[in-house]
Amino acid sequence: MQPRPVRLIRNLNRTREIVSVFAAHGFGDLLRRTKLQRLFSRSSRSPRVKELSLAQRLRMALEKLGPAFVKLGQVISTRPDLVPPEVIEELSRLREDVKPFPSEQAVAEVEASLGGTVDELFLKFDREPMAAGSLAQVHRAVHRDGTPVAVKVRRPGVVETIERDLMLMVDLAALLEHRVPEARIFDPMGLVKHFSRTIRREIDFVREARSMDEFRRQFADNKEFAVPNVYFELSSEKVLTMQFVDGLHVSDHEQMAELDIDPHHIAEVGSKLFMEQIFKFGIFHADPHVGNVRVLKEGAFCLLDYGMIGYLDDELREDLVDLFAGIANRNVPKVSRLMVEIGEPLGEVNTKLLRTDVRDFLGAYYGVPLDQVSVANLLSDFLGILSAHGIRCPGNLMMLIRALVALEGAGRALSPDFNLANALGPFVKQVLQDRYRPDRLASEFFEEAFEIGGVARRLPGYLDIIADKMSRDKFEIEVRPAGLERLTNEIDRTGNRVTVSLAMASLIVASALLIHSGPGNAWFAIPIFILSSVLGLWLVYGIIRSGSL
């Protein structure tokens, strides 16, 4: 994607703020290479910044730029396949430092969005928020039927702010890839696009409500898993009203003991439910950290905040099962092949070196009892191999890995003896056994046979079309060399600019000669001079827009 400096100019104040913050945190050289510093920034590096590492300076700059950039940093911190470990570690410390917005604004948002006063909509509505974040805050309320509810209200103006920053992030990432070629290894555009999808899902409360309802329906018969009920008549894109969950935090071990709840059992239940989400339904809660886990007093496992949901298609699920089976069986060729197929290679992969690293990776875990295997460490080593061989991890798989690591952390907060591998191993084994059930094999056989039959029916028609074109000498093969179209466009653009420049220069010279020849020619020379000025401005605008200034 080509950078568009004009969009940066349209948001000049915000662009200047972004560039100034990065300049103040020691990124002046990068700004000079992207040619942004001379256009916008006059900031100098703070003396204190000189003593900090690059990762620390990046974290501080993102925190200074506000919620959208903090969340971008949090997304980057989940991509060890693209970003160095020291940057991952530093960005994982990013925290949102936001204050609740005024309760009057929250009430106004609720009333405008739901079409009634809070006194008409709810039996009771607490003006003071119980929690606040960069995107929304939550108020306690009571439904008209007496049920306690939580009302999540989107922060006023946050969508416009995020969309503005997303647009600038896209242009800055394109500029970075265009003018700093070595930055492409970190895939700036890919990171921004992944972040854009993630945050847009988080600010759409209708989508979150539907996700909660889908989880609730899928696990309706499971009494050990609770999903808060959604009140759709009291929800909109800006407001989400759901059942209030009065549960225990994962660290409330004393209260669990008083209620005769076994924390280890709860952790095992949660992990099995998560495996079911992944391998049975292909949709999973992508942020099951300790803050989003509650234990109900009747002993059920409950997840909160469904703003971040991951999806896995059937093909990826099957590949993941094969990958885990290959790891368990120490099948080096199979694991190596699946790494390339599942991932997105940035270039040619050296198969021999990859197999060597995979053999060492499997050797570190082969023969180790499941209860001694750390899933977080295993996945970290897996991502390390991908990164070392230039294989990018797909966004949905990265979300799954992040979720598994968070789930293992929540499980160990419930019970220090908990190990996610104990749930993962048997589930993968069960999925493999189900794959070869006679009824499933028969179903897949008939599906494949039906598709092959369809191709066979269409094949004679395609052959007839090809033969007809060949008989009339109209059969053509189109060859498109990679990169030739871009080169041709650049040559055409350069030629056009040279032509306009020559025409402009000629007009300026002609107008100057006419004026010099006598005052009586001014009426004719001035319009020519104005025309040449317009052509000059148009040429400069075109160069700025192309990002080649």
Neighbours of 230 (CB within 10 A): 22
Task: Using pLDDT thresholds of 50, 70 and 90, give the confidence band for residue 126.
Answer: very high
Task: Using pLDDT thresholds of 50, 70 and 90, give the confidence band for residue 154.
Answer: very high
**Tens of pLDDT along 185-211?**
677 888 888 888 888 888 899 999 999
pLDDT at residue 48, rounded to an integer? 67
Residue found by looking up tokens 């439904």 in the block:
143
204: nearest Cα among 132, 137, 286, 136: 136
pLDDT at residue 459, rounded to an integer? 80
In total, the chain counts a number of residues equal to 549
What token pair was written down for 38?
A: 């001379």
Where b means 16+ CB within 10 Å and e means fewer, 515-548 reads: beeeeeeeeebeebbeebeebbeebeeeebbbbb
Domain boundaries, the chain: 5-95+176-201, 98-175+204-244, 249-436, 491-546
- Average pLDDT for 351-370: 85
Q: List, in order, residues 6 or more apart from 373 with CB less than 8 Å away.
A: 365, 419, 421
Q: List, in order, residues 6 or more apart from 517 with CB less than 8 Å away.
A: none
Output the pTM of the full model.
Answer: 0.71
Cβ atoms of 397 and 282 within 8 Å: the answer is no
Question: Residue type at 112?
Answer: A
* Orientation angle between helical segments 395-414 and 263-276, nearest 10 degrees: 170
- Using the predicted structure, report yes or no on whether residue 242 has a pLDDT greater than 90: yes
- Using the predicted structure, report yes or no on whether residue 111 has a pLDDT greater than 90: yes
pLDDT at residue 523, rounded to an integer? 64
6-15, 76-85, 136-145, 470-479: which has the minimum mean pLDDT?
6-15
CATH 1.10.10 for domain 98-175+204-244: no
pLDDT at residue 549, rounded to an integer? 46
- Beta strand pairing call for 225-226 and 301-303: parallel
3-state helix/strand/coil string of 133-194: CCCEEEEEEECCCCCEEEEEEECCCHHHHHHHHHHHHHHHHHHHHHHCHHHHHHCHHHHHHH
State phi, psi for 542 to the nearest 5 degrees: -65, -40
HSE of 120, CA atoms in CB hemisphere, 13 A: 7
pLDDT at residue 72, rounded to an integer? 84
CA distance 415 to 288: 16
**Tens of pLDDT along 33-91?**
777 766 554 555 555 677 788 888 888 888 888 878 888 888 788 777 677 888 888 88
Cβ atoms of 547 and 494 within 8 Å: the answer is no
**Tens of pLDDT along 509-544?**
776 766 666 666 666 667 766 777 777 777 666 665
